[in-house]
Amino acid sequence: MTAAAPHILSVQRLQKYFPVRSGLLGRASAWVQAVDDVSFEIAAGETLGVVGESGCGKSTTGRLLMRLIEPDAGQIRFEGKLVGRDLKVSDLRRSMQMVFQDSYASLNPRLAVADSIAFGPQTHGMPRERAIGRARELLGMVGLEPSQFERRYPHELSGGQRQRVNFARALALDPKLIILDEAVSALDKSVEAQVLNLLVELKKNLGLTYLFISHDLNVVQYVSDRVLVMYLGKVAEVGPVDAIYGAPQHPYTRALLDSRPSMDPEIRVEHPPLTGDPPNPINPPSGCRFRTRCPHAEAVCQTQEPDLRPAHGAPGHLVACHMRRAGSGHSQAAPLVRFGDREPSR
């Protein structure tokens, strides 16, 4: 472990295009630009929330990090070590685990719960007896009484209980980072609250780091320290949770937040913040990918792709929008102050 590494995970220019095959020979006729030039870091002990609509690449990002799919380009560093060069993928997977949305599909239906949890450690060389003992311990940790649950099969459990088993299994190898891909999305509200409390508690007790992928903005606000907003395979905005929710800089983030029902029947939403659906990630719009739905789009948005730059205000708040870049040519952008385009803040 290198103590010098400030980030537990650092991702640089991650890219994944999926081919769309057609015709007799199955040649790639088009590419789904699922994740395109995505960079971010996660500090040890924090929770980074990833939000976005379907097709924005948030789940693909999670799978790329776990190497469940191979990236086309980009570097992933775990505790400063370059994955694939300094760190073997199998070692990475010991330190990084993932929990998926479908609690039933992610458990082997033929294995009792304790065997499922013990499977990972056994694969990594732990004797069976010790692995089962550890599984019992983990069941207790996720709030399932071991004597009552260890011999049960997935179909005998409720959705919330099954997801707890998945957490126990993810914890079995003492990982440092857990990727939660819509891990509470399939649960009922009353169960979701129980599971969220458990996640917060586990993180505190075990010193975990979370990458929390979700479409639910309220849940992400509750669990995250920082939030990454994705749109069509790109990072639109990233920053501290209060800055993203309190002072969103990207028009997409603002629309996403305004799309939430108010929860107050007396202050109903009167106009939809956006029209239309997210476009198809096959052949996304040129320039800024949000421009086709953006109320502020101008010529520059079509020709030039905005890059992530520091936003005014909170440190660590980055936004990819021409309106927020001085001298970008957008009518709402501040004029160029100096000859450089370095932002004065920070």
Instruction: Count residues binding another protein (CB under 8 A).
Output: 46
Contact stretch for another protein (CB under 8 A) within 31-39, 88-96, 273-281, 337-345: 273-281
Q: Out of 90, 108, 123, 197, which residue is the one contacting another protein (CB under 8 A)?
A: 197
- Estimate to the nearest angstrom the gap between the alpha carbon of 53 and the chain centroid: 12
Tell me: does residue 192 bind another protein (CB under 8 A): yes
Q: Out of 69, 112, 255, 314, which residue is the one contacting another protein (CB under 8 A)?
A: 255
Nearer to another protein, 129 or 270 (CB): 270
Tell me: does residue 310 bind another protein (CB under 8 A): no
Tell me: does residue 269 bind another protein (CB under 8 A): yes
**Distance (Å) of CA 33 to CA 16, 58, 303, 342:** 7, 12, 18, 30
Contact (Cβ atoms closer than 8 angstroms) between residue 158 and residue 129:
no
Pick left, alpha or beta for residue 80 (phi over 0 → left; psi -120 to 50 → alpha; otherwise beta).
Answer: left
How far apart (Å, rounded) are the C-alpha atoms in residues 258 and 315? 24
Contact (Cβ atoms closer than 8 angstroms) between residue 180 and residue 210:
yes
Q: Out of 37, 41, 46, 53, which residue is the one contacting another protein (CB under 8 A)?
A: 53
Nearer to another protein, 178 or 227 (CB): 227
* CB 124, min distance to another protein, A: 33
Tell me: does residue 190 bind another protein (CB under 8 A): yes
Binders of another protein among residues 12 to 41 (CB under 8 A) are none
Contact stretch for another protein (CB under 8 A) within 32-40, 72-80, 187-195, 300-308: 187-195
| CB-based contacts of 23, cutoff 8 Å, min separation 6 | 29
Phi, psi of 50 (to 5 degrees): -120, 120
Q: Out of 156, 174, 277, 341, which residue is the one contacting another protein (CB under 8 A)?
A: 277
**Distance (Å) of CA 284 to CA 29, 74, 274, 279, 298:** 15, 20, 18, 7, 17
Tell me: does residue 129 bind another protein (CB under 8 A): no
Contact stretch for another protein (CB under 8 A) within 4-12, 194-202, 294-302, 313-321: 194-202
DSSP state, residue 310: E
* CB 222, min distance to another protein, A: 5
How far apart (Å, rounded) are the C-alpha atoms in residues 214 and 183? 8
